Structure 1
Amino acid sequence: MATASISRRDIVSRTLAAVLGGYAFTWGLVAFGMAAMVAADMEFHDAEHLSAIIGFLVFLIIFLAAFAARNINRVWLVLVAGAVILAAAATGIQSLVV
């Protein structure tokens, strides 16, 4: 059985992607989900709670995927781009609703 050499840099990068990147992506997703649900006439607090529940599950999946992925650069790209796109979309929806 061959053992893979894992560098300290790789471990730090995966940990930061899992925690910080996962948080940013989840924050964007929750903001987008809340804005979309409120725009679809759901009560604010119902949208808030449902988005938080979904966000918790998504963060867990992202956290695990950051360590399971073969290419950490792709993980970073998806998390950062996704966070920016979701936050921008949430801002757009919120400006239309308010």
Structure 2
Amino acid sequence: MGEQLTFRAEVWQWDARTEEGWYFVTLPTGPSEEIADRPRPPRGFGSVKVRVRVGGSSWATSIFPDSKAGAYVLPLKKAVRKAEGIELGDEVEVELETLE
């Protein structure tokens, strides 16, 4: 359907003040640029709908542009982190497909 990408990235936390902060991985810069260059209908915060697989977990979500990183970031919800035993600082393999 859209771009397909497999990559490895380190899990980082956006708000380190609490354990319940948001956890993300950053997509590689090159593929992020390709995703950003593809025409899409405008969506909130510049998000792009994606389907993701990490380990045995798969789900639909959105990726968001991060101007500081110059790349998109993928949120990792708590249920996935728990199911896959993912901790802050772990490197995870991500399979991602854009849906639009």
Tell whether the structures are fold-level matches, with TM greater than 0.5. Answer: no
Name the structure with the higher strand share. 2
Bigger Rg, which one: 1
The TM-score normalised by the length of structure 1 is 0.29
Name the structure with the higher helix share. 1
